[in-house]
Chain A
Amino acid sequence: MNPPKNPIVLTVFTLLVCLFLVVPIAIIMPLSFSSGSFLSYPLPGLSLRWYETVLQPTPWLAAVKNSLIIALGATAIATTLGTLAAYGLTIANFPGRGIIIGILISPLIVPMVIVALGIYFMFARMGLSGTFTGMILAHAAIGAPYVVITVSAALRGFDRRLVLASSSLGARPVTTFLSVILPLVAPGVISGALFAFMTSFDEVIIALFIASPAQFTLPRQLFSGLREQLDPSIIAISTLVIVFTVGLLAAYEVLRSRAARNQILR
């Protein structure tokens, strides 16, 4: 059946909203190639000078490196613990499960500034303030709920007879987990990991509280930059972030559609 035709007013409205969402992001990117220092069109000329400013060891490249170290570390912890927990929550209904789910999901609900304040006190006492370990642990905590949610969703239609079949064929639980369950929930795990990564890669408030300049992440550096002076170098680094994000999403889409196609062929 053909979908019903949308009224013209609605079409125009949707178009405007889509422009509102996308145009601000798209329109600033060419400004980073400006040879002048005004953030407006028409461009006085094309130049890579702002990229030259940005692609220096400090502060921007150092911030990128810090962000990657912290986001990858946090993602590894969040994904491992989150996947394990999601699987545990799916296979049995133990007492207190509802409350435990509430605790596991609460980092999504509690305002980040409260988390940051609490972590500030706690980490200062534990000697974790101003360390990479501290940043990684804090970011892992706020990323883990995304993994729990996406993996749980992937496991919802999971057929437990597959586990029984695997064990009846003599597989140990670990083998079953690695070779039967994990491949089936892989899309959920990857989505969750992506969410955890992006959460860390975009987080600024915890960095504001506990990072010393040696751990300044890219968002933390952007935050300072935006407070001081908005110039084309900020737009250049923003453009790089946009390209990186879109590239990451595109890679994920390709992987996912390829995996889906393989499943159909099998």
Chain B
Amino acid sequence: MSAPQPDLRRAMRRAERGRQLTAFLMVLPLLAFLGVVFVAPIATTLTKSIASPDVSNALPQTSAMLLNWDGTSPPTEDMAAIMVPEIAGAYAAKTIAAAATRINEEQPGMRSVMMRAAREAGEMQPPYLQALTDLDPAWAETERWVHLQATATPYTARYLLAVLDLRRDQGGVIAAVPPDQALYLDYLKRTLVISLSVTLLCIVIGYPVAYFAAHARPVTARIVLACVLLPFWISVLVRTAAWMTLLQREGMVNSFLLKAGLIDAPLELIFNRLGVYIAMVHVLLPFVVLPTYNAMRTIPAAHVMAAMSLGARPFAAFRTVYLPQSLPGVSAGALLVFILALGYYITPALVGGAQDQMLSYLITQFALNLGNWGMASAAAGLLLLTTIVVYVVFRKAFGARGFTV
């Protein structure tokens, strides 16, 4: 058969382009939907971790003046003359409260100082610096104005630094906060330790189970898989309720052990790290078993037999022939477990103690209980970055496929 004629080729290309366009138009609704309900919200969140608009919005002239000030020379009458009328205006416009709250983040106690100055500012007469100092002598000190200056920029690295237990010192150099104030890096470390431990536990427990199911009679395999799948479908909250019932101080496990005379006093099985591990492994184990089982099913039995007929002992045959072929399944499962564990919130919140909370808890704490959106967003950015790094490194290192379409 001869090559297609040019116009036929063009027609085919046009048909292919048409098909591509149709295909894209079918994907578009979901893409647009996720853009609005998923991508844009997360992007907005990330910008909030560096946004600091409250002071520059409420006090634009004061902010501009403070950003031009060198930050070391003593405050002047000119500076006060810009600030006093503006805070009086902001007080009338009720925008001063948000700015004062932001300044308070920089230096605790500044909220009431600012609100008081703003309240009185309408009555103040020049010289304004003197009027401020009469109200509170600290207005004559450079340090007070330095705190204001730190909040005058619309963007700040403050929150991002803070979640890493870093801050800018007086000279603007980034340094670690004193150890007694270092609170947040622990959450990152803990998140990684718990996620890694749960992943390893799931592999150690899940691999033999997957092996058993892959080499059992079909009926037995179905039963084992049903045992694995059943909890997978049941609500995490219901399962957590079950573990709380079983493991609490007066719970079934403790009362059984007490009655059996195996222990004299109830064991602390929950509201600690042990409870978190038990409940998380229960939830995440199926994510390792299922892909591992699927990978094992594709390993020809002849491979291991061939290795053994060539003189390999069973363990050597397993290690050199079977294990490598099952690893893609294990690594896919491990990646899933690791990623899901990183973002865990419910289980540690319900069965963990104060020392078992992870980054997700920090985010909800800042957002819902403290209303500190800058810190919530910065912690979210840290968690997202951690997740992406783990995902990329894991895929590179182990060739795990993760989710595929």
| Chain A interface helix/strand/loop/mixed | helix
The answer to whether B20 touches A144, judged by C-beta atoms less than 8 angstroms apart, is no
| Chain B interface helix/strand/loop/mixed | helix
CB neighbours of B243 from chain A (8 A): 24
List the B residue with the shortest CB-CB distance to A126.
Answer: B36
The answer to whether B250 touches A38, judged by C-beta atoms less than 8 angstroms apart, is yes
The answer to whether A241 touches B235, judged by C-beta atoms less than 8 angstroms apart, is yes
Given known contacts A140-B37, A209-B367, A92 and B23 CB-to-CB distance under 8 angstroms: yes
Q: Is B2 an interface residue (CB 8 A)?
A: no
- Interface-located stretch among B72-80, B95-103, B342-350: B342-350
- Which one of B20, B350, B403 has the highest number of Cβ atoms from chain A below 10 Å of its Cβ? B403
The distance from the CB of A253 to the nearest CB of chain B, in whole angstroms, is 10
The answer to whether B29 touches A111, judged by C-beta atoms less than 8 angstroms apart, is no
The distance from the CB of B17 to the nearest CB of chain A, in whole angstroms, is 9
Given known contacts A14-B209, A137-B37, A113 and B30 CB-to-CB distance under 8 angstroms: no
CB neighbours of B368 from chain A (8 A): 208-209
CB neighbours of B22 from chain A (8 A): 88, 91-92
**A140 CA / B21 CA spacing, docked (Å):** 25
CB neighbours of A202 from chain B (8 A): 235-237
The answer to whether B282 touches A24, judged by C-beta atoms less than 8 angstroms apart, is yes
The distance from the CB of B296 to the nearest CB of chain A, in whole angstroms, is 12
Q: Which of A188-242 contact B (CB under 8 A)?
A: 198, 201-202, 204-205, 208-209, 219, 222-223, 226-227, 230, 234-235, 238, 241-242
- Interface-located stretch among A45-53, A102-110, A256-264: A102-110
CB neighbours of B384 from chain A (8 A): 110-111, 114
Q: Is A120 an interface residue (CB 8 A)?
A: yes
Q: Is A18 an interface residue (CB 8 A)?
A: yes
Q: Is A64 an interface residue (CB 8 A)?
A: no
- Which one of B19, B230, B243 has the highest number of Cβ atoms from chain A below 10 Å of its Cβ? B230
The answer to whether B19 touches A91, judged by C-beta atoms less than 8 angstroms apart, is yes
**A123 CA / B227 CA spacing, docked (Å):** 40
The answer to whether B343 touches A121, judged by C-beta atoms less than 8 angstroms apart, is no
CB neighbours of A162 from chain B (8 A): none
**A227 CA / B345 CA spacing, docked (Å):** 13
The answer to whether B343 touches A1, judged by C-beta atoms less than 8 angstroms apart, is no
Interchain Cβ contacts under 8 Å between A and B, 30 examples? A14-B209, A17-B208, A20-B282, A21-B282, A22-B227, A27-B246, A38-B250, A84-B27, A85-B26, A88-B27, A89-B23, A89-B27, A94-B23, A105-B403, A109-B339, A109-B403, A110-B38, A117-B363, A119-B41, A120-B41, A121-B41, A145-B403, A149-B404, A204-B346, A219-B235, A219-B236, A226-B244, A238-B238, A238-B241, A245-B235
A-B pairs with lowest CB-CB distance, top 10 = A111-B343, A88-B26, A118-B41, A92-B23, A18-B227, A122-B41, A85-B30, A81-B30, A88-B27, A14-B212
